Structure formats: structure tokens, C-alpha cells
Chains A and B, each alone.
Chain A
Amino acid sequence: MSTKEKAGNGYKWIGQNMKRVEDPRLLTGRGKYIDDIVVPNMAHAAVLRSPHAHARIKSIDTSKAKELPGVILVMTGAEAAEQTGPLPCFANPPVAQPCIATDRVRHVGEAVAAVVAESRYIAEDALDLIEVEYEPLPVVIDPEEALTSSGDAVLHPDRGDTNIALQRTLTFGPVDDDFAAADVVVRRKMRWPRSGGQPMETVGAVATFDEGTGKFTIYANSSMYNYVGWLMAVSLNVPPHKLNIIPTIAGGSFGSKLFVHKVPVIAGTLARAAGRPVKYLEDRIDNMMSCDNHGSDRIYDVELALKNDGTMLSLRMKSIDDYGAYLQFGVGHWGNVAAQASGPYTINSVEINLTAVLTNKGQQGAYRGFGSEVNNFILERVIDAAADELGMDPTEIRRKNFIQPDQFPYKIPTGNVYDSGNYEAVLEKALGMVDYKGWRKKQEEARKEGRYIGIGPITCQERSVFSSTEFWFWNHEPGFALTSSPESVGLKIDPLGKAFVTLHSPFWGNSPETMATQIVAEQLTIDPADIEVTYSDTDHGLNGTGPGGSRYTVMIAGAIAGAATQIKEKMFKIAGHMLEANEADLELAEGKISVRGAPDRSVSIPDVAMQAHYFRLSLPDDVNSGLDANFVYDHPYTTMPSEDRSDLGVFYPIMGHMCHIPVVEVDIETGQVKFLKYVAVHDAGTVVNPMTLAGHIRGGTAQGIGSAMYEQFYYDSEGQLLTANFADYLIPTIMEVPENVEVGHVETPSPFTEFGIKGGGEGGRMGAPPAIAAAIEDALKPLGVKVDVLPITPMRLRELIREAQAGG
């Protein structure tokens, strides 16, 4: 075990704005993304997409497509199913998802057949020659209607005559008593719309099946390949050691490449059948319709019980969550809700009533926040409503209910524990940066001129470092109740003293190589220029859960600290032998191991490394040659949930915090919202690299702006996705984001992690939506407009303004 590296200010590399080591190759067009992978004799695949949201496949005629010159293989779902089983699913009971639909399509864009050809052009030509006869079935789009579906409208009849996937109420603490004791109950109905990560690079795979060895080699831009990648071997019907997954860097993920299984499994299935390596890369329409990673899509009824003085007592939420056509991650998103259900506040009790439904839409997956961002939205919104009702300033009601610094570690009603925090300090810093009082004055003056300026302070949580218990504790029957979610690192010092770091999870747009370099440099006092970071494939992989839930930096720091400790111990042993000194008297600094108090008596790391690798007969008797260590670092603090789920245990304890304060001006004639100022202060514990953390915060805020104001996967009543391209699905350009998101940091180190680091990858998107809604509502206070439904597009805002003016 490593001894925990404490937080402090005496670091040389941690806390520096080190330029990223990933960048030179990315800046010069030499990154190797999935579409840059070419293997000899490689063919290209394309898939035929269903035009129907819900239909039986009556027949498929592929004969004309097969005749097209250049076509190697045409495969229907039924033919694929002869070799390949259902895709991985973490729900219990599972929902069977074929890689290509067999007898029934359940959403628009679902694959019904695939073609392998000499080029992508020919493959797409051949798709046009496939004839499919469909028998349309009743389409279920409205999640409330899904509650009463029966017969042919049921997507998965094998799970019973219902589209309700899971219904459960969890009560944490004396909710009824607290509501009975309340002076006031504030209630809001809210709607969080379906959006998605939509990275600029889609999902792809290049698969080879070697008939000689019976083994697949698949390049993929998926994460979790060293955690649960073997499940793809199960789908492909080969033993796990007959599949090697090689990671490529990802051109963005934002969660949406958390565990992408369908594309690699399709590529593998086709490669085996075609006898040729196959590249399959989603195009943008594939990705928007069928990437398996739409974000949360929820209807809420929320109640907050308070005393007249603003003290929050209890929170009740009832929600219908529209999961789409499949249920790959179960309702893990609601573990994320429970992780920080009561926010940064001392709310005494919580009740969550969840109904997860299946509809004819692309299935949910992961998107930056994984469902916790929605909880931030509804909680902050209902608190704003309470502040309005009680006549309190939004900052005052929050401040009154903050968990205080001396109360940590703090157990919230759901059972999760928050490690540390200083919410007052974050709020004060943000209020100072934005000049809150000054803007309140300007707002008052502007109102006299008929201008609508609004200020939207919110204070919310960013849980980080998930534990896998949240995958299953919502299930009535847990199923595969795993409790491990480790991260691993291999660390080797070569004979010349260079450090080689092997990560077991991929780059997906974050900065793992930079983080690993800074932390190894800190631990071993090796120059960053002498550190090389690479990624293992599954053949050489150790358990690595990967980025997601803002865990990667915390977890690789833990793994590196563990491996570096072992390396240091061995170096000290060898150095002690070389210097004829007691190990206990040695110290490591500036790349040298010296006798404490006698700096002249020292050996460099390269000296020791050379000795370790090549001079066995000069080593102590009990020391083997070599200088390397592997370390599997487990989640630093997690406990089991109680049997009755009145206490979910500790599963997301590394608790970040943020205060976002946008200042906006609304043009009531056009519905346009302009940012006048935007301040975001975050607490992510000890900051490893302030520059890259600020990058995450700003980028996440831009995505939060998209979720709040522009983006929606909009399905019509027939289940057609009307926003299936970038002309209709509106990702913010530079014109939609603030010119300057001013970022501040407050550091309350975690007592549970190495160096006190907390996660910080998702925060921007977790804070911006409630802040923007609050600012817009505040701007339109004279009109009484309420913002309970997102996205609040200019058109939607104009409707609300019109209604308010007509009503007033």
C-alpha cells in the first residue's frame, strides 16, 4: 500500500500550468484517431438505418446489393445473430439489444443490415439496393403515455406487457415528518430535455479476425475497454482472451464514448464473416440517431419543504425518465442523482420516486454529469422558487442552508458522504468576482430604462470518483453486484533512468498524459522530458475503469503514487547498497538519492537504474533485476448499501463544488439572451494543472449553455428525429458563449485521495443550466416569466414572454 501523499503547497510539478504533452502531435495533424487507422487489405462497412421508429421486419432482400461490383458482404441482423449474441447490458433483468436489428426495429436509425465493400462509397451505394419490408407497430414517444403501453406498443414483450423498465421509491430519512413540520412547501414541475455529448469525432472501429489464431484484434475509440471490454468478446462468441482491443485517442467523448460496444461488435462480426479487416465508422447521422448515448430525458415533479426563515427541511422528487429503446447502463444515472440529491445543503430527508420508461428513441448512455447535472438543475430551480416565495435573495437562502466546513466528512440523507468543502468561501469569491451588489444596482437602473438584466447565482455539487455500487443499487434484484472500480498504472524506469508510464484507460480529450507526467515528475523527481506515457491494449491491460464521473485524475494519481512508492523502495535499497548507507538515512530530491545531511554522498536515478537492470551481482542478495511496478488502485472510500436501500452507502464521496453566476440581458422583442458577464468558481480539491482545469470548466460551461438554450434531440409523434444533423441540432458556436468565462478556484483538499485531488471534468455542464435559467428568470421578473422547461430557445422564450404579457 502507498502511504497517502498529503495535500500541501510544497509541490514542484503539481499545481503548475504545464503545457500539455499530448499537444504537439495533435497540433501538427499527427494524432492517430480511429479513422486514421489503416490495416492491410482493409474493407469498409456501412449500415442501413431503419426509417421507422417501431416496426416488425417482415423481409429483407439483399440480392441486388450483393451483385454490385466491389461489394464483399451483405449481412442482415438475422444473419449476424447466427454468429454474434446480444450487446452488453448492465440492467437487471437485461434488455436484449442486437448489434443489428433482427425481427424488430425500436427506433429510427437502428441498423437493419450492413454492407462490406472495397470502399465506403460502394458500401453506401449497396445500401440503396437493399429492400426491406416493414410492418409498422404503434410508436411510443411521449414518456407519460409509455406508462400505460400494452400489446404491440410494448418494445420488449419478453420483459412483460409494459414499457415501464423500473419503478421504485427510495425514502431517506423522516420525509413525511419533515413535510408535516414545514411552514411552506414549494412545488415545481420541470422538464429536462434529451441532448447528447456529440463529440466532433464519431464512434468507429477497425476489426481484424485472424483465422489462424481464432483471435480478434479491434482498434476502437471506446473507454472502459480494460474494465468490461471482455463483454464484447462474449457478444462475439469468443473467449475473452481471443479479443484484443487496442485503444485509439478519441476526438472528444463527454461521456458518449464511455463504453461503446455496438460499433466494435458490428465491425468484428463483419470482419469475421468477410474474411477481411473491416473499418466501420459512424457518420454524423448514425451518431445522432444511434450512438446509444443520448443524455437524460426527464419529467419532474419536485417539492421542497421549508421553514419561513428559509431553512430547508426535506426534498421530494417524482420523475419519469425516458430511457429510449434499450437500457444498457440500467438506471445508473439515478445513482448519480442520489450521490448529491440534497446538494450542498443540510436538507434533512429526501425521497426519490423514479419511473424509468422505454420508448422508441435512441437509448440513453452517458453525457457529462450522467444524470447528476439534472438534479443540480431541479434542486437549484426549486430553491430559486422558494427564495421568490419567501422574499429572500437567492444567495441568502443558499448561505443559510450550507453544510459548514467543520461538519465534514458529512453524511447526506441518501447515505453518501461528502469528503470536504467550504461552500461559503466559494460563494464569497464568486460574488466578489462578479460584483454582485454592483450588478443588482445596474439591474435596477436598467429596469427603469425598460431593459431586462438578470443575475443567476447558483451553488451546486460536482460529485466525483464513482464507485460501481451505483450501477445496481436501484435494481429490485441487484444482478451482477460488482463493487470494484479501480484504475491501474504500470511504471518502469529503464536502464538510462527514463520513466515509462502505462495507462490502462484511454485519452478521450482530457489530459491523462500531462496528468501522469506531472504526478510522476512530482513523485520521482524525474524531469517531465524524460517521462513517456502510453496506453495498454487489453492483452496487456490491468483493470482500468477509465475516465467518467470525473475520476481519472484522482484515480491515476492514486495508482501512480502506489507504483512510485514501490519503485522508490527498490531504488533506496539499491542506492543504500551502492552508498553503503542505511536506507532510512536516504532521501530523493532533484533526481538524486543522497544520504540525508551529506549531499556529496549521492547517486542519480540513472545510476541506480543502470545498476538495477544490468549488474545483478552488485545488487543486494534479496533484490531482483529490473526497476518496475504495476499498481491497481481501488476506489479510495466506498461502502455497501443497506439491504432495504434506506442507506445507499458511500459511493461518490469526493465532492467538488461550484458557484456559477451569469449576468444576462434578455431582448424581450426577439428572445435573444446576451451574456454580460459570467463567473465560475470551482472547488476541485488540490488542482494538478489550473490551466487544464479551467479549460474543462469553460468547455463544460459552453456545453451547459447548449443544454440550457439550444440543444435537443427532438422526436415528433411518429418517432422521427427532426434534429439529426448539425444544422438542426444546435451546438453553440463562439457567438453563443460568453466572451470571457471568468474562472476562480477554491481548494479544499480531499482527505481521502492522494494529494487531496478531487475530480473536475464535468463541472461546467453541471452548473451552467440552472444558472442560466435563474438569470433569465431574474431578468424577466417584472413579467413573471418562469423557466421550468429547457432548452429555453429564443423562440420558447418569446412564447413565455407573450403569454406573460397577455396574462398580465
Chain B
Amino acid sequence: MEQEKVVVSVNGVQYERMVEPRRLLCDFLRQDIGLTGTHVGCEHGVCGMCTILINGRTARSCLTFAVQVDGAEITTVESLGTPTNMHPLQAAFWEKHGLQCGYCTPAMLLTAVELLDTNPNPSRDEIREAISSNLCRCTGYQNIVDAVEHAAAQMNGGAS
């Protein structure tokens, strides 16, 4: 199958790769450039495991072709923080026990990043609305809402 050139920025690093037009963005991220923090759950756009940011907006990388993001800026969980230097959202998920198996967590974090970018002080209902796009089979969601609320408070406190 013919390949096309894709030039894309992922977490601030420029990548140039030849890909088949049908190659899914999730496979591109996980297999071609080795960022396995983005997970795949259903491959039909329902569960939200594969959520990443394209130019700052959440998107399902299992329903996006790699060639579609030519020229775009992609953000994945690997951009947020490290085990010894966590992003406030990661620290809040840890503090509030917002994860169990951890499989949905990268997607939940990026969904929360988008929310807090546009709404730094969301109500619990607004947090619920934002993460209603993503499934979590472990937690029952409650601690995730607590974590996002806690992170927002921390981030606002840090800014003032």
C-alpha cells in the first residue's frame, strides 16, 4: 500500500514519518513513535481510552488517521509529568485514588487538561459532564471527580 508523509508535533517534538493512509493515529503514536501511554479499549470510538489532544482539543485517536494530523500539535499523557515530578492533575489523581487498573487514566487526565484549560474552576457538574465521554470500569468515577476538583484548586492556588 502506498505511503504518505506525515509531519507532526507530538509533545513538542517534531516527527516526520511515512505511513499508510489507513494507519490509525493510536497505532502511529504507540507503535511508530513508541508512546504507549495512549491506550486502546474498543476501537470504535465509544470508550474513550485512546483520547489525546489535537491542537489542544480532545479527540479519539482510534477514529483518527495519522495522515489527518499532518501539521498538527498532538499532546499525549507523556507530556504531563514524570513519576518524580507529576503534573498537578496526576498528583491529584494519586492523592484522591482516582485510578485502580490505570488503563483509562491517561485519557481521563487529558480530558481534564482540556476542561481546566477552558474552565479553570469547574463545578462538580461541569467535571461530570466533561468526563462523561470516557468510560472507567474500576472506580465508579467519584474519586475522579474529586481528583479533578482538587487539582483545579491546587492549580488556582498556585497561580494566585
Contact = CB atoms under 8 A, between A and B. Distances in A.
B72 interface: no
B97 A691 contact: yes
A325 interface: no
A36 B132 contact: no
Interface string A209-222: 00000000000000
Nearest to B92: A27
Nearest to B94: A23
Contact of A726 (B30, B44, B132): B44
A694 B132 CA distance: 21
A702 B101 CA distance: 15
A617 interface: no
Given A29-B76, A726-B47, A739-B142, A508 B102 contact: no
Interface in B83-118: 83-84, 86, 90, 93-95, 97, 99-106, 109
A-side interface size class: 35 or more
Nearest to B47: A726
A284 B42 contact: yes
A391 interface: no
A94 interface: no
Contact of A23 (B42, B77, B102): B102
Main secondary structure of the interface of A (DSSP, over half): loop
Interface stretch (B2-10, B31-39, B53-61, B63-71): B31-39
A66 to B, nearest CB: 19
A199 interface: yes
Contacts of A250: 101
B39 A251 contact: yes
Interface stretch (A225-233, A333-341, A419-427, A727-735): A727-735
B82 interface: yes
Contacts of B150: none
A29 B49 CA distance: 12
A28 B37 contact: yes
Contact of A284 (B20, B44, B134, B140): B44
A201 B35 CA distance: 17
A28 B141 contact: no
Interface string A268-308: 00000000000000011000000000000000000000000
B132 A734 contact: yes
A234 B139 CA distance: 37
A254 B27 CA distance: 27
B138 A699 contact: yes
A668 interface: no
Contact of B83 (A25, A702, A727, A764): A25
A27 B81 CA distance: 9
Contacts of B109: 27
A283 B49 CA distance: 13
Contacts of A252: 100-101, 103, 137-138
A699 B143 CA distance: 10
25 contacts: A19-B95, A19-B97, A22-B102, A24-B84, A25-B83, A26-B105, A27-B83, A28-B77, A29-B37, A29-B106, A33-B103, A35-B39, A200-B136, A695-B100, A695-B140, A698-B143, A699-B140, A700-B140, A726-B44, A727-B46, A733-B132, A733-B141, A734-B144, A739-B145, A764-B140
Interface of A: 19-20, 22-31, 33, 35-36, 120-121, 197-201, 249-254, 283-284, 508-511, 691-692, 694-696, 698-703, 725-727, 731, 733-735, 737, 739-741, 764
